[in-house]
Amino acid sequence: MIGAAGGLGLIVLGSLLFSPALIGVGAIVELVWLLRSLWTRYGLRGVSYERRLDRTRATIGEEIGLELVVRNRKLLPLPWLSVDDLVTSGASVVGRDFEPSVLPGFVALRTTWTLGWFERVTRRLRIEADRRGVYDFREAHLQVADLFGREKDVEERPLPLRYRVVPRHVPVTGLDVLSAIPGPALAKGGLFEEPTLFAGVRPYQAGDPRRRIHWKATARLGQPVSRRFDPGHDRELLIALDVQTVSGPFWLMQYEDELSEGLCTAAMSLARSLIADGFACGLAANGYSAVPGRGVFLAPGGAPAQVARIADELAGLSRWPSMPFANLLDRLGRRVPRSTAILALTSRPAREVLPVLRRLQRTGRRVRLAGLGPHGPQGLTDARTMGITAAVVRLAPDWRTARALELVG
């Protein structure tokens, strides 16, 4: 500011004294003042910043392409542009370290750029999907610095973007254990008849298709009769996932990471395998998710898109429980139809949940228990003692490298 005033003073003085020298030097001083603040004044004008992901869902171990594009649509080149992308803590970008951020739970991915006039620079980075979760990109902080000054100009631009890292899924072996769990169920009422549920014959009615006529009975009775079927429903199964991995009060919010990821991998693999086999599969868990509430519930569905829905729910599932697993099972007993089978998947000693499972079973519901981790075999023994079918889930050598999920009954 002193320089600007001095330069102006020189120009005025030079004009008064008719001295070109003073005017010239005044012009130089003014030029220097202009140069010192040129970038903080005009640097961010005409600058656009974009962030793109080549996909929004990746399995653990895969990579997602991240494309950062900066455009400078003006004559003034930018020698230094720094962009801080706020992303959920825990994200990982190949070859990049994160800076701390002022926003809790977020870190900053800092990139520095130099742009010429009317230039577009595209930088491609790779996001490592190495930890399950839902990752949000929030606003971007753009910062330009003066070439000669000490000032910086900062601008915040909202650029929301989200990607999910979903659990691995592996082939399931030993499905015979599971195959006994659900089956074609008899519905109490319904419009749709299940062709496999033969229920007898009835007199022929006009309009009955010829294939429906029971020819042998017709011959025996001497009058036309048609087959009759009971109403049925799809084979439905709900995987009830116990998020709690450490015994004790659930509110301690402690967890064992390996077991937690192993449970999610097992749930994902089971769901995918069951849906591929024609089951309608759903998910319930006693953990938090992105949706406010004290649990996760996804109604059973058999469409291929259900796999992606389950994967998304598992991606956003917290590693600590929101309520006791027994409470979740109790709620499910009231919430889901009795025809829906429940598969309880836990890594803790099964003694806590066996009474609830037995109560559900006594109401006519099909329930099964699957135990993962060191307490699995003991849970199998305890469950058999109480008359509940159970299986041990094995991911060998660990959930990261296992090639198959083994069910041992």
> Omega before 397 cis (within 30°)?
yes
- CA–CA separation, 364 vs 370, rounded Å? 19
For 227, counting Cβ atoms within 10 Å of its Cβ (0-12 exposed, 13-18 middle, 19+ buried), the class is middle
The distance of closest approach from Cβ of residue 20 to another protein in the complex, given in angstroms and rounded to an integer, is: 5
- By CB atoms closer than 10 A (0-12, 13-18, 19+), residue 300 is buried
Residue 372 CB, nearest approach to another protein (Å) = 38
Nearer to another protein, 50 or 176 (CB): 50
Q: Which range binds another protein by CB under 8 A, 25-33, 178-186, 323-331, 363-371?
A: 25-33
Select from 100, 102, 104, 112 the one that contacts another protein (CB under 8 A).
112
Applying CB under 8 A, does 12 fall inside the site for another protein? no
Q: Report the residue number, 8 or 299, with the smaller CB distance to another protein.
A: 8
Return the structure tokens found at 365. Answer: 């519901």
Q: How far apart are alpha carbons 204 and 185 in whole angstroms?
A: 27
Structure tokens at 89: 């803590």
Q: Which helix (H) or strand (E) holds 384?
A: helix 376-385
In 277-349, which ranges are continuous DSSP H helix?
A: 305-315, 325-335
Which of the ranges 13-21, 181-189, 198-206, 255-263 carries the binding residues for another protein, by CB under 8 A?
Answer: 13-21
Residue 35 interacting with another protein (CB under 8 A): yes
Q: Does 21 bind another protein (CB under 8 A)?
A: yes
Q: What mask of x and - would describe binding to another protein in positions 355 to 384, judged by CB under 8 A?
A: ------------------------------
From first CA to last CA, the distance across the chain in angstroms is: 82
DSSP letter at 350 equals G
Contact between 17 and another protein (CB under 8 A)? yes
Binding mask 60-99 for another protein (x = CB under 8 A): -----------xxx---x-xx-x-----------xxx---
Count H helices and E strands in the chain, helices first: 10, 21
Comparison of 47 and 353: residue with beta carbon closer to another protein: 47
**DSSP code at position 210:** G
202: contact with another protein by CB under 8 A: no
H-helix or E-strand spanning residue 376: helix 376-385
For residue 228, state whether it binds another protein (rule: CB under 8 A).
no
Going by C-alpha positions, the residue among 358, 376, 378, 379 that lies closest to residue 367 is 358
- What the block records as the tokens of 159 is 């650029």
Question: Which residue, 111 or 245, is less far from another protein as judged by CB?
Answer: 111
Instruction: Rule CB under 8 A: say whether 54 interacts with another protein.
Output: no
Cα 284 to Cα 300: distance, rounded to the nearest angstrom: 10
Only one of the segments 6-14, 158-166, 249-257, 333-341 lies at the binding site for another protein (rule: CB under 8 A); that segment is 6-14
31 binds another protein (CB under 8 A): yes
Select 74 or 157, whichever has its Cβ closest to another protein. 74
Contact with another protein (CB under 8 A) among 113, 250, 288, 297:
113
Question: How would you classify the pairing of strands 106-115 and 99-100?
Answer: antiparallel
CB of 24 to another protein, least distance (A): 4
**Binding-site string for another protein from residue 140 to residue 179, where x marks contact by CB under 8 A and - marks none:** -----xxxxxx-----------------------------
Among 40, 111, 346, 389, binds another protein (CB under 8 A): 111
CA-nearest of 141, 400, 144 to 259 is 400
Residue 375's beta-bridge partner residues? none
Query: Assign residue 252 a region: left if phi > 0, alpha if psi is -120 to 50, beta otherwise?
Result: alpha
Question: In angstroms, what is the minimal distance from the CB of 249 to another protein?
Answer: 46
Closest approach of another protein to the CB of residue 87, in Å: 16
- Tokens read off for 395: 């991911």
State the Rg of the chain over Cα.
33
The residue from 15, 56, 103, 118 that contacts another protein (CB under 8 A) is 118
- Choose among 366, 369, 390, 388: nearest CA to 186: 366
Question: How many residues sit close enough to another protein to count as binding (CB under 8 A)?
Answer: 55
Residue choice 52, 55, 123, 202 for contact with another protein (CB under 8 A): 123
Q: Does 124 bind another protein (CB under 8 A)?
A: yes
Q: Report the relative pairing of strands 405-408 and 390-394 from DSSP bridges.
A: antiparallel
Residues engaged in binding another protein (CB under 8 A): 2-3, 6-7, 9-10, 13-14, 17, 19-29, 31-32, 35, 71-73, 77, 79-80, 82, 94-96, 110-114, 116-126, 145-150
